[in-house]
Amino acid sequence: MPNTILMGAQWGDEGKGKVIDVLTSQADVIVRYQGGSNAGHTVIAEGKKYVLHLIPSGILHPGKQCVIGNGVVMDPFDLLKEIDMLRGYGIEPDGRLFISDRTHMVMQWHRALDKADEAHRSHDKKIGTTGRGIGPAYSAKMGRSGFRVGDLLRPDFLDRVSEMCVSTNLRLSKWGAELLDIDTLLKDYAKLADILKPYITDTVVFINAADRAGKSILLEGAQGTMLDIDFGTYPFVTSSNPTAGGACTGSGLSPRRIDRVVGVIKCYTTRVGSGPFPTELADATGEHLRQKGGEFGATTGRPRRCGWYDAVVARYSAMVNGVDFWAMTKLDVLDEQPTLKICVAYRRDDGHIYETFPADLSALERCTPVYEEMPGWMTDTSKTTRYEELPLKARAYVERLVALSGAARLGILSVGPARETTLRLGI
């Protein structure tokens, strides 16, 4: 398989876990390049449901090598829980899991600060974070006071942890938030070096050596383009770059070594947390999509906001990421809709038309979606195993989405949660 970046094209939860799982069969090395345990990649394989937050789902495939790249922020205690969970299923990560020595860690105080910061924002300023410490961990990285995985092996590690706990407690006490129990934290952190040492690797060298040896590399993103710190609906975003550019900075593989970009996109739209969502349906249709699509957060269990497909988002995403192939997911969720709406542009109250996503969120508040309508197919598509078997109206809908969403071709269409319901069209 060519070296591939796989990224989310909307607000996350596009079904990347399933598409990654399918493409993994052709890859040798699977690299997670950003985000942290805010993500939840769900894979259903042989009747079992696995939810992975940090470790690439490639680990479910025997013999595949999996890397947690330098662009990730990793909570080491979450990682240990995930390793235990895998062992509980009889999957052994030892010898196949590699963690970059440059990966920053989400430290316990980052979680405390994430929650305290959200609690102190006024209602309209809340981001609706997952509370997993992601923002504070990336802030520490950029502020050059972060803790990297490689630091676990340094003799001054616990002294630095202790200093940081003391200064964080001063901040937390000003907010009236619960303080860190420094002694317990120090004991917990003291155990980590020995447990994690076997996984700690210079993964930049590892990934590039694999590439030179002709192995194929799958770079997997978490979240999605509209949650990107640069290109998303700032400030209602996550603190990393889920977009394709983040795959190179988050792994150390050069852009010149990337062969193709696969964008995962749902046949409708969802979002968790606060922030603009132009095609949101706050009605019975939105509720139907939520129930039928199981649209509840894999990490926090929060109900996802649901709405019509937004081709403005798709077009913007295709441009920012250079999407070559779409992997479209969850078509079957639309099986009961007599009429489908597709947003093709946004119209501002003064008549201005937006065909790609504007940076200015206040302009968005003055916009309404311009919709096209298509007839629904009113047929169960969830057992389909070949594209040609789909009802003509369902194919027409998918083909219209592709035509409206930039130059990318349709590579995968998914019509249900299991591996078998992933229709492959030339990738």
Instruction: Pick the piece of the chain touching ligand IMP (CB under 6 A) from 5-13, 324-332, 385-393, 416-424.
Output: 5-13
By CB under 6 A, the residues from 195 to 234 that bind ligand IMP are: 222-223, 227
Q: Give the shortest CB-21-to-ligand IMP separation in angstroms.
A: 16
Q: Give the shortest CB-124-to-ligand IMP separation in angstroms.
A: 14
Beta bridge partners of 347: 353, 368
By CB under 6 A, the residues from 161 to 190 that bind ligand IMP are: none
Q: Give the shortest CB-268-to-ligand IMP separation in angstroms.
A: 15
Tracing tokens 């963690």 back to the chain, one arrives at: 99
d(CA 233, CA 231): 7
d(CA 21, CA 41): 10
Residue 236 or 308 having the CB closest to ligand IMP: 236
Examine residue 381 and tell whether it contacts ligand IMP (CB under 6 A): no
Which of 13, 101, 228, 310 is catalytic? The answer is 13
E runs forming strands in 275-337: 305-307, 309-310, 325-329
Q: Give the shortest CB-75-to-ligand IMP separation in angstroms.
A: 12
Tracing tokens 């994690």 back to the chain, one arrives at: 196
Residue 13 or 21 having the CB closest to ligand IMP: 13
Give φ, ψ of 242 to 5 degrees: -65, -15
Among 238, 251, 414, 421, which residue sits at the site for ligand IMP (rule: CB under 6 A)?
238
Size of the site for ligand IMP (CB under 6 A): 21
Give φ, ψ of 88 to 5 degrees: -60, -30
The amino acid sitting at 344 is V
279-284, long-range: CB < 8 A, 24+ apart:
279/307, 279/308, 279/309, 279/310, 279/341, 279/343, 279/369, 280/305, 280/306, 280/307, 281/306, 281/307, 281/308
H-run or E-run covering 314: helix 311-321
Whether the CB-CB separation of 72 and 247 falls below 8 Å is answered with no
Examine residue 272 and tell whether it contacts ligand IMP (CB under 6 A): yes
Residue 13 or 332 having the CB closest to ligand IMP: 13
Which of 21, 28, 41, 114 is catalytic? The answer is 41
Give φ, ψ of 182 to 5 degrees: -65, -40
Find the residue with minimal CB distance to ligand IMP: 273
Tracing tokens 């440059």 back to the chain, one arrives at: 102
Among 3, 13, 104, 218, which residue sits at the site for ligand IMP (rule: CB under 6 A)?
13
Residue 277 or 316 having the CB closest to ligand IMP: 277
Residue 54 or 267 having the CB closest to ligand IMP: 54
Catalytic (active site) residue 41: yes
**Two structure tokens written together for 334:** 């639309």
Examine residue 273 and tell whether it contacts ligand IMP (CB under 6 A): yes
The SS3 assignment for 274 reads coil
Whether the CB-CB separation of 72 and 32 falls below 8 Å is answered with yes
Q: Give the shortest CB-223-to-ligand IMP separation in angstroms.
A: 5
Q: Give the shortest CB-204-to-ligand IMP separation in angstroms.
A: 25
Beta bridge partners of 264: 8, 327
What is the per-residue binding string for ligand IMP in 27-66, x denoting contact by CB under 6 A? Answer: -----------xxx--------------------------
Q: Give the shortest CB-80-to-ligand IMP separation in angstroms.
A: 20
Residue 298 or 408 having the CB closest to ligand IMP: 298
* Residue 36: CB atoms within 10 Å: 30
Residue 39 or 66 having the CB closest to ligand IMP: 39
d(CA 45, CA 37): 21
The amino acid sitting at 61 is H
By CB under 6 A, the residues from 83 to 142 that bind ligand IMP are: 127-130, 132, 134-135
> Which residues are annotated as catalytic?
13, 41
Q: What residues make contact with ligand IMP under the rule CB under 6 A? A: 11-13, 38-40, 127-130, 132, 134-135, 222-223, 227, 236, 238-239, 272-273
